Amino acid sequence: MTSSQLEKEPLEAPGVEAYIEASIQACSWQLRRSNLTAPADYTVPSGAAAHIAIAAAAWGDAAVIAKRCGLRWAGVWADHIPERMVLMALLAGKDGHLLLSTTVPDSKPELPSQAEIYPNANRPERHLHDMFGITFSAHPDPRPWTRHQGWKPDAYPLRKNFPVAGFPVENTPADDTYPFIKMEGEDIYEVPVGPVHAGIIEPGHFRFHTIGENMLRLEERLGYVHKGIEKIAQGRDIPGLIRLAARVSGDSSIAHSWAACQAVEHALQVEVPPRALALRAVLAERERIANHCGDIGAVCNDVGFSFAMVQFSALRERVQRLSMELFGHRLLMDCMQAGGVGRDLNADGITAILAEQRMLRTEVAELMPMILEYPSLQDRLRTTGILAHETAVNLGTLGYVARASNIDYDLRRDAPYPPYTGLEVHVPVYTEGDVAKRTRVRGDEILIATELIEKLLNTLPSGPIATAITLSGHGAAGLGLIEGWRGETLAYVRLNAAGTVERYFPRDPSWFNWLALEETIHGNIIPDFPVCNKSVNGSYAGHDL
Amino acid sequence: MLSILNKIRKTGILTEKVGATEDEILLLGKNCQREIAASFGGSLAIRMVDAGSCNGCELEMHALNNSFYDIERFGIHFVASPRHADMLLVTGVVSRHMQEALKRTYACTPAPKLVVAMGDCATNGGEFGVSYASCGPVANVIPVDACIKGCPPTPANLLRAILEILQKKYT
C-alpha cells in the first residue's frame, strides 16, 4: 500500500468500526495475526473499544489505512517481555479507541515507522528507540529524542535487563552536540533559549531561527526533566503506582492518577462505586478550573495586562485553598486510589463546593468579557499564534488547543467513561485557532465545569467511596483514558500475578500539543513567543517522563 | 476601562497575614527585612531552577506572587537570571540531563549566595529518588544551605521557611 491511497475519498463517518471494515476490505493488505506468538504472560489490555493484533511488517500499512479512515493517532508504547517486545499504538475515532498491537523479537526489534503517515508519531517512536532500542525503518528523523548524554546510545533503560540504577558517570555532560535543523540565508540568525528559562517555569530548550524579530522556525529540544518514571514504576505495588502517577505532571495530578486508576481497574475488572466516580469527576473538574484560572491570568500577564493575572490568580488560590480544606492537598495529589477515592465529602463540604461554584461563575462571567472586550489586550491576543485547523488535525492536537482550532472533540462527550456517561458535556469550539480563542475556550470551560460540578453534587449517589482491589491471580493489563484539563490523557498499566507493576506508560496530551506550539509561531515576532507558549502550555514533566 | 477600575476597587486588598501564627510571621518578615537590607542591599533576588520537578513546586512558587501572599512586600522577588540572584531556589530531583545546567547556573550566581532545596524531591529524592536518570536530591550536585520539605510545600510554608532561613543564616 502506498501513500497515494491516502488520496482516495476518506470514509464518511470516521470511527473504529469504519477502520475495521476498511482493514478487511483492503485487498492489498490482509489483516493477519503476528507470525510470532505473543509472549506467554502477555494479556490484551482491557479498556479500548477494539483490539487488532497484526504482523510487525504491516505496522506501517496499518497507519495508512487508519489515516484513510480518518482516525487520529493517539500514542505508541512498548512492553518488554523478555525475548519479545510488544508494541501498542492507540488510534482514536470519533466514538472510541482502537488498540493496534504487534510483537517483535527483542534480539532484532525492527518494524516499519508510522511517522511518515502520522507526524505526531515522530517523537514517540524516537522515544521508543532511545528507551527500548526499537528500530523504526524509514523513520524520517534518526536523531535521539529523550536521551541526551545520561546513558549510552546502545543502552536501553526500559529493557528488563537494564538496572534501575543504570551506569551513571559522576558528571553527566551537557547535550551540546544535538544537531538542530539549520536554516541558511542572509540575515537569518539563531536564538538559543534554555534549558533554564527566565520565568518560574520548567526546563527545556527552544531554538529559534529569526530574521530581525520575525520567527521563521522554532525547534524544541525536550527531555531535560526525564527522571525515569516509566522505569521506577516497575516493581511498585498499586498504591505506589498511583502515588507516582499523581506526580507525572504536578498540574495534572488528578488526570494522570485517574487514568492510572482506570487502567488498573480495567485490568483487574474492578467495579468502582458510583459515589467514588462522581467524586472523581468533581476532583477532575476542580483541577480543570484551577489550571484554567492560572493560565488565563498568565496569558494576559505575558502581554502586560496584570489586572487579569491578579484577578485570576486570586480565583485559583481560592480553589486551591478549598482543595486543601476538603481534600487535604492544594493540588489534589493522592486523592485517588485504585477502586475509588481516598476521602469522602460530607454535607458541609458539598455546601462549600456549591458556594464556590456560584462564586466562580459570578467572577468569571464578570471577568471574561472585560478581557475579551479590552481593545489593547485583544490587539495582542487576536491573530497571534494561529494554529490552522488542518495542522491541528494532522498533529493529533488535544484539549483546549484543539478546540480553539475547530476540533470538536472531548472524551467526556464522545467516548464517555463513568460518571460522564450520564452527563451532558457541552464542548466549546472556535475556528480562529489564535491565542485569544485558546484563552476564551478556557474561560468557557470554567463555566461549564462549574455546572458539571453542581450536577454531580446535586445528584451525588450514596454508598461507599472505594471498593477493595482483588488480584486476578494472573497477569493483567489495562488502559485508562481520561479527559484531563489539558486533554486526553492515557495510561497503560500491566500487572503481574502478585499485583506488582510490570509496565506503566502515561501519555500526557503535551506530547502532541508541543508539536502544535512549533506551528503557532509562524508570522509572529519573538516577543510574542511567551504568550503563544503560555496559551498552549505544554507540560515538560509530563512529556519528558 | 471603567469596568476594570471598578472591579479593582471592588476587589480591594486581598493580601493577608500568613498562616495561624500571623504575628510571628510578620515579626519574622520584619526581622528578615532588616537582614535583607543589611546583607542584600534591601532586596533578596531569587532565581528558581527546576532541576527535574513534576511542576507542582513551580505552581506553589507562582502562588507566592498572588495577592494573598504577595512575597514582594518583604523585599523578596524572583529574577530572570542567576547573575541577578542572591538565592537559588531549586526544585525537583536533579535529572541527569539537568545536572550540568544546574552546575552552570550555580557557577553563574554571584557570591554570597544561598541555595535552598524546595520540596521533598529536592530535599531527599521524594517520589523519584536516585536512578539511571536522576542524581537524586540537590545536595548530591551542588552545596545546599537549607531544605524545605513538602510535596509540594504550601505557599505559606514556603514563605515561612524562606524567612526562617534568612534569619538563621544572617542573625
For A172-186, A263-277, A309-323, which range has the lowest pLDDT when averaged over its residues?
A172-186
A and B: number of Cβ contacts within 8 A: 176
Q: Do A228 and B131 touch (CB under 8 A)?
A: yes
- Which pLDDT score, from 0 to 100, does residue A98 have? 87
Q: Which residues of A touch B4 (CB under 8 A)?
A: 307, 370, 374
For A26-40, A189-203, A306-320, which range has the lowest pLDDT when averaged over its residues?
A26-40
Indicate the SS3 state at residue A473.
Answer: coil
- Which pLDDT score, from 0 to 100, does residue A117 have? 94
Q: Which residue of B has its CA nearest to A253?
A: B56
- Which pLDDT score, from 0 to 100, does residue A468 have? 92
pLDDT digits (tens, 9 = 90+) for B146-169: 999 999 999 988 888 888 888 777
- Which pLDDT score, from 0 to 100, does residue A4 have? 40
- Which pLDDT score, from 0 to 100, does residue B61 have? 94
The cell for A451 is 455546572
Q: Do B61 and A200 touch (CB under 8 A)?
A: yes
User: Could you tell me the domains of chain B?
Assistant: 24-170 (3.40.50.12280)
Q: Which residues of A touch B50 (CB under 8 A)?
A: 201-203, 225, 540
Q: Do A172 and B97 touch (CB under 8 A)?
A: yes
- Show me where the domains of chain A are located: 3-17+31-117, 233-535
- Which pLDDT score, from 0 to 100, does residue B133 have? 96
pLDDT digits (tens, 9 = 90+) for A369-391: 999 889 999 999 999 999 999 99
Query: Which ipTM did the prediction report?
Result: 0.90
**C-alpha distance from B83 to closest chain A C-alpha (Å):** 12
Q: Which residue of B has its CA nearest to A147?
A: B97
Q: What letter does residue B18 receive in the DSSP assignment?
A: -
Half-sphere exposure of A160 (CA within 13 A, CB side): 13
Residue A474 has pLDDT above 90, yes or no: no
Mutate to test the interface with B, among A146, A164, A176, A196 (most CBs of B within 10 A): A196
- Which pLDDT score, from 0 to 100, does residue A514 have? 97
Q: What is the CATH number of domain A233-535?
A: 1.10.645.10
Q: Is residue A120 a contact partner of residue A515, using CB atoms and an 8 Å limit?
A: yes
Whole-angstrom distance, CA of residue A276 vs CA of residue A283: 10
- Which pLDDT score, from 0 to 100, does residue A32 have? 41
Q: Do B53 and A202 touch (CB under 8 A)?
A: yes
- Which pLDDT score, from 0 to 100, does residue B20 have? 52
End-to-end CA distance of chain A: 35
Q: Which residue of A has its CA nearest to B59?
A: A251
Range ranked top by mean pLDDT from A1-5, A63-67, A115-119: A115-119
Band the pLDDT of A22: cuts 50, 70, 90.
low
Residue A36 has pLDDT above 80, yes or no: no
Percent of chain A with pLDDT over 90: 78
- Which pLDDT score, from 0 to 100, does residue A18 have? 59
- Quote the crossing angle between the two packed helices A510-520 and A529-536, to the nearest 10°: 150
- Which pLDDT score, from 0 to 100, does residue A403 have? 97
The cell for A350 is 458539598
Q: Is residue A22 a contact partner of residue A31, using CB atoms and an 8 Å limit?
A: no
C-alpha distances in Å from residue A525, one per residue of A76, A182, A215, A388, A437: 34, 19, 5, 18, 19
pLDDT digits (tens, 9 = 90+) for B82-138: 999 999 999 999 999 999 999 999 999 998 889 999 999 999 999 999 999 999 999
- Going by their DSSP bridges, the two strands A487-495 and A476-484 should be labelled as antiparallel
Mutate to test the interface with A, among B1, B55, B108 (most CBs of A within 10 A): B55
Considering chain B, what is the average pLDDT of its residues?
Answer: 88
The pair phi, psi for residue A321, each rounded to 5°, is -65, -40
**Region A330-346 average pLDDT:** 95
B148, containing H or E segment: strand B146-148
Residue in B80, B93, B132 closest to A157 by CB: B132
Q: Which residues of B touch A199 (CB under 8 A)?
A: 78, 80
Whole-angstrom distance, CA of residue A248 vs CA of residue A226: 10
Whole-angstrom distance, CA of residue A248 vs CA of residue A245: 5
Percent of chain A with pLDDT over 70: 92
**Region A265-273 average pLDDT:** 94
**Region A395-418 average pLDDT:** 94
**C-alpha distance from A247 to closest chain B C-alpha (Å):** 6
- Which pLDDT score, from 0 to 100, does residue B171 have? 54
Q: What letter does residue A527 receive in the DSSP assignment?
A: G
pLDDT digits (tens, 9 = 90+) for A121-164: 999 999 999 999 999 999 999 999 999 999 999 999 999 999 99
Selection from A322, A202, A313 nearest residue B71 by Cα: A313
Band the pLDDT of A37: cuts 50, 70, 90.
low
pLDDT digits (tens, 9 = 90+) for B34-76: 777 777 778 889 999 999 999 999 999 999 999 888 888 888 8
**Region A410-430 average pLDDT:** 93
Q: Do A162 and B130 touch (CB under 8 A)?
A: no
**C-alpha distance from A152 to closest chain B C-alpha (Å):** 11
Q: Do A166 and B131 touch (CB under 8 A)?
A: yes
- Which pLDDT score, from 0 to 100, does residue B23 have? 63
Band the pLDDT of A33: cuts 50, 70, 90.
very low
Residue A299 has pLDDT above 90, yes or no: yes
Q: Which residues of A touch B97 (CB under 8 A)?
A: 148-150, 172, 175, 223-226
Q: Which residue of B has its CA nearest to A232?
A: B128
